[in-house]
A and B are shown apart, each in its own frame.
Chain A
Amino acid sequence: MSTIITQVVGREYLYCTNQPENQMKKLVILGAGTAGTMMANKLYRNLNQDVWEITIVDKDENHYYQPGFLFIPFGIYQPEEVIRPKREFLPKGVKFLIDNVQKIEGEQNQVVLASGTVLPYDILVVATGAVPVPEETEGLKGKLWYKDIFDFYSYEGTTRLAKKLENWQGGKLVINLAETLIKCPVAPLEFTFLADAYFTEKGMRDKVEISYVTPLSGAFTKPKATAMLSKLLEEKQIQVVPDFYVQMVDNDRKVLISYDGQEVPFDLLVSVPVNKGDAVIKASNLGDEDGLNFVPTDKHTLQSKKFENMFVIGDATNVPASKAGSVAHFEAEILTENILSYIISEPFRAKFDGHSNCFIETGHGKATLIDFNYDTEPLPGKFPFAVVGPMDLLKVTRANHLGKLAFKWVYWHMLLTGKKLPVSTNMSMAGKQLETA
């Protein structure tokens, strides 16, 4: 290791060049979703390409713009708008393998793929994400699945739900979160607001009874945002059923049943199933003890708690931040710096603060915006710049909605390929008001 680096000048890492290929250092990234793709771009740009060979593995050749799944059921986006080939967003010098990862063998510093290929590594980046697993809840994936029960966190679920809503005549619409730990925790609320607007615009809101059934004690987890969102739900005549932890779905009676015996009837159930990390995490014995297959990770450095040359990013980690693209983006900035420090055996300088930033669609062409981190809850104010904004935190505005729509372009053209965005990596207090007037 020490023979490679000859000089370190600021952020420039100068190396002896022209390593024979078989002696090249190997960096392997598992998962080419939002987090993995950003890391491939950033690392390719920052590592000496004559010394480091970067390989990225994913089972799917398509990249899905997951924030777009929310809009498909309401016809706001068409399915084809959210899919692009993954290859388009990866640098040409990065090897892209389409394969299933069968096992991570941390002690041997290698990864075994389903095809039998074994990938040795010097550094591993785990970006295997999270997926909805309806099988975790009894009766959820029963005979009503994709008939009267849908999810919208998968491409298949959201496109099927779009078809269902086109002809649905109304009744009891129930939105249920099966777990508190889910991807994009605001998406179910956004779905609820958009459903209210959709049925209003269709002239059938009076035929639809909407309930939001959640295991949380309120609409959201953070006090100020919960107060604001609860008020919105009330205005829109959406019933909130809090502290409801679903045990099973009775398909014959069409009711949700909680662990403490409460029941909620439905005609149409839109479920956010239990989210789990990738099965390879379990197969490799790398998961957290709650059995959800998330990898114990240092919440500031993003280093795995088990292996020092393994780093974890995005939805795959167990850090107490939102599972969301914005979090993966802020983490990618931190992790790139920390991997560069690791390579030259220096202490980690960059620390992730849990920064998360979410637009929340509220229907009728408006949205609100929240920005927070591990220690600071969402506060009102202006974003991203103090005073001028142009976006307002914790307020429902047209500008916030336009920001959310513009984000799709930013995602495809800037975010995935690792270009710098005008948002600070660590949360900034500029523009935030500590007390609401």
Chain B
Amino acid sequence: METLTYNGTQIEVNAEGYLKDMNQWTPELAREMASQENIELTDKHFEVLNWLRAKQKEGTPLSIRKVGNSGLVDIKQFYQLFPGGPLKISSKLAGIPKPASCI
């Protein structure tokens, strides 16, 4: 079992570092995790993270395209906020499971 320790609290994560329980997420934890990805979180980042968390709660399957249609950012901006793999990284920082790529 892998864990992160943040502010004295043990937080369970899976082998890829995704939180097992999204309710253990806090904005501070997100900042801490982001710094490991060399990302400094801005208000815009948090808008996206909160949107992802809300969608996850609704049970909506997530995709880059869906974020691009969210009205918050377009796909290009999404890449600028979370370079490399925007959905993979943002979902990790949002404390939600890695979205299953649809197959």
Q: Mark A204-218, 1 if CB is under 8 A from B, else 0.
A: 000000000001110
**Cβ-defined contact, A320 with B84, below 8 A:** no
Q: Looking at the complex, which one of A179, A221, A247, A318 makes contact with B61 (CB distance below 8 Å)?
A: A318
Determine which residue in B65, B78, B85, B100 has the highest number of CB atoms from chain A within 10 A of its CB, and name it. B65
A243 to B61, CA, bound (A): 19
Q: Which residues of A contact B60 (CB under 8 A)?
A: 289
Whether a CB of chain B sits under 8 angstroms from the CB of A185 is: yes
Q: Least Cβ distance of A26 to chain B in Å?
A: 33
Q: Mark B41-72, 1 if CB is under 8 A from A, else 0.
A: 00000000000000000001101111001000
Q: Which residues of A contact B84 (CB under 8 A)?
A: 243, 260
Q: Which residues of B contact A222 (CB under 8 A)?
A: 103
**Cβ-defined contact, A245 with B61, below 8 A:** no
Q: Looking at the complex, which one of A179, A220, A259, A291 makes contact with B69 (CB distance below 8 Å)?
A: A291
Interface residues contributed by chain B, number (CB under 8 Å): 19
Q: Which residues of A contact B85 (CB under 8 A)?
A: 217, 243
Q: Which residues of B contact A321 (CB under 8 A)?
A: 103
Interface residues contributed by chain A, number (CB under 8 Å): 24
Q: Least Cβ distance of B84 to chain A in Å?
A: 7
Whether a CB of chain A sits under 8 angstroms from the CB of B7 is: no
**Cβ-defined contact, A179 with B76, below 8 A:** no
The 6 nearest A-B residue pairs measured at CB: A290-B66, A181-B102, A221-B103, A221-B101, A260-B79, A185-B103
Q: Please report B residues at the A interface, Cβ cutoff 8 Å.
A: 60-61, 63-66, 69, 75-76, 78-79, 83-85, 88, 100-103
With A292-B65, A356-B103 already in contact, 11 other A-B pairs whose C-beta atoms are closer than 8 Å: A216-B101, A221-B100, A221-B103, A243-B85, A245-B75, A247-B75, A247-B76, A259-B75, A260-B83, A320-B102, A321-B103
Q: What are 6 A-B pairs at a CB distance below 8 A?
A: A216-B101, A259-B78, A290-B65, A291-B65, A291-B69, A320-B102
